[in-house]
Structure 1
């Protein structure tokens, strides 16, 4: 029997003045990680050697100049640049933002070309990455352009999964960005994601209201009655197990979230505040709905602890494990979907033998 190759995990290094390098290297200092996957860090061996010394870590790098030279059981570093980079921990720096984008673009290119199996991104600073050639508010929007599918930000931690109708949108613009088309597209995306990426056959999805108390019959806004509820009804008519809208203020505190496979929030803070309260430090941000797998930790650059050797890397490690699990689950789903009759016959034959 042929030995299975490990999942190749591409890693973009993120903001070099933040905690990205620390959480990446600390994750792979544990040599057992190399039994689960083959990491490829998109940065430079020279720079990562500096970080290794900074954090007093015991690990070795396999520097490569081509993805054809990836070695299993080693921490591969693709040299995206060779020059020296000045590091000032905790500082917001446009030049550092340029290196974060160099790393990201190189990693995404490798993902598109199937040179790596999945992508895990270290945190970036949304301000210092902006330039004439990069005008995206974050990873999700850039990946939506570069990859195929309908992207959706999905925060996951065990059985808790929280998606968003609108993500990095100013609060004043939330309502105008929630249309019937958006609602149906996002919920269809999360429904398909739960089936193919998490193996849930008949997913139950809860939807949170747009306004406080779902608008109280129009007293506090009418969008829940005129836009959200009719859209959910259409989805139910199409055999989707979609429930709500629920008043957001009591939904998580009451424990109702435990009854669903995923929750869809109307806007960023409505979903992420309760998620991070329940799962902070172990949560994972997954870009669902695309033809490739990308995850990241559920936190930012953490400039306040950068360079101090104090960063918690659990969320990044969870992001790596989640990417691997989702990748394998999706491959399994595609295999079953490609020839469902053959799979069904195999199960039937197995039962007869018993």
Structure 2
């Protein structure tokens, strides 16, 4: 499984999966790697080929070239250098803004190769560029997204999509993830909610160093059900779970009506917010933190982050994509690895 860096002072080895080659993944990786300071905090390992990603890359006229150590085997990683692992032999060509079976296949092969090396302990963490959930489907990849694939691949009983903007102290998780809205009420059981809150509390402690986290839980219905008038999920499912966590000594509160909660900036009083379905949490998060936000998968035995946006096919090839979210994902992965290592050392010292 995932291992810590081999020496006390060695920067973590971070695998970068390239995402859909027709999207902005190659561009945001390229722009992130232009900052040489990145090599002071991690050793990047890009899964693809340097040729297809950067030699033929549609850059701005004054863009700087990047030099990679091209590898066939991740065991040959050179610390303090840009590394690129060849994970396909086909002659792929970038077609910005034009997703195809080839671009989706490259995204899939890059992710699978990086995940294998992470599972084998040859990497310390993974940063994933955006994929098209539809364009990536294949016989060996039947998952609605990175989160579900990695949860299965690393044999985690459950995971949690957690969006974070550490600069603003904003963290929003979602209980049901990539689920059609019509299926959310049936999925939202007391057992699921307990599991997601437990994962969130543990991650805030283990990954973010918050010893006694304060967590807010949102309601499912308008006005959090208005005491049963607009829906009973809050009374029958959400509130009993919250009260049990309170009884056990945890600082878990709610359920809060989502509109007023975000409209009055009440989230600033908490270390994290648990939304009950995807858009309930991601819409306000992206409104507040789109350029800096990071998608972190809590509950995994490994560290995985990604930018908080998609493939943006309409921007691809124009050299206008903002790499800030991808860069933040790299730094958050390093921070979480450092925090987990610190928790591990404290545990060994007891």
Fold equivalence (TM over 0.5): yes
Bigger mean CA deviation after superposition, 293-302 or 233-242 = 233-242
The one of 140, 148, 161 aligned to 1:153:
161
2:151 is the alignment partner of 1:144: yes
Take 1:54 and 1:267, find their aligned partners in 2: how far apart are those partners?
A: 38
What RMSD, in angstroms, separates the aligned Cα atoms of the two structures? 1.2
Q: Report the Cα offset of residue 52 of structure 1.
A: 4.1
The one of 5, 12, 24 aligned to 2:29:
24
2:49 is the alignment partner of 1:44: yes
Bigger mean CA deviation after superposition, 217-226 or 258-267 = 217-226
Bigger mean CA deviation after superposition, 78-87 or 250-259 = 78-87
2:177 is the alignment partner of 1:170: no
Bigger mean CA deviation after superposition, 124-133 or 183-192 = 124-133
Counterpart position of 1:267: 277
CA deviations 1:253-305 (Å, max 9, x no partner) are 11110010000001011000000111011100000011000000000001111
- Contact 1:25–1:52 (Cα < 8 Å) also in 2: no
Aligned residue for 2:159, secondary structure, equals: strand
2:56 is the alignment partner of 1:81: no
Q: Report the Cα offset of residue 6 of structure 1.
A: 0.8
Counterpart position of 2:334: 324
CA deviations 1:319-338 (Å, max 9, x no partner) are 00000000100110111123
Take 1:105 and 1:3, find their aligned partners in 2: how far apart are those partners?
A: 28
Take 2:176 and 2:51, find their aligned partners in 1: how far apart are those partners?
A: 40
Counterpart position of 2:112: 105
- Contact 2:96–2:316 (Cα < 8 Å) also in 1: yes
Take 2:182 and 2:58, find their aligned partners in 1: how far apart are those partners?
A: 46
Take 2:73 and 2:94, find their aligned partners in 1: how far apart are those partners?
A: 26
The alpha-carbon distance between structure 1 residues 3 and 142, as it changes in their structure 2 partners (threshold 3 A), is: closer
Aligned residue for 1:154, secondary structure, equals: strand
- Contact 2:52–2:94 (Cα < 8 Å) also in 1: no
Q: Report the Cα offset of residue 180 of structure 1.
A: 0.4
Q: Report the Cα offset of residue 92 of structure 1.
A: 2.4
Q: Report the Cα offset of residue 86 of structure 1.
A: 2.8
Question: Structure 1 length normalisation: TM-score?
Answer: 0.93
Aligned residue for 2:304, secondary structure, equals: strand
Aligned residue for 2:164, secondary structure, equals: strand
Counterpart position of 1:344: none
Q: Report the Cα offset of residue 212 of structure 1.
A: 0.6
The one of 244, 247, 264 aligned to 2:254:
244
CA deviations 1:185-209 (Å, max 9, x no partner) are 0000000001111111100000000
Take 1:110 and 1:240, find their aligned partners in 2: how far apart are those partners?
A: 37
Counterpart position of 1:208: 218
Counterpart position of 2:13: 8
Counterpart position of 1:277: 287
Q: Report the Cα offset of residue 53 of structure 1.
A: 5.6
Aligned residue for 2:309, secondary structure, equals: coil
Counterpart position of 2:3: none
Larger Rg belongs to: 1
Bigger mean CA deviation after superposition, 234-243 or 112-121 = 234-243
Take 1:22 and 1:335, find their aligned partners in 2: how far apart are those partners?
A: 38
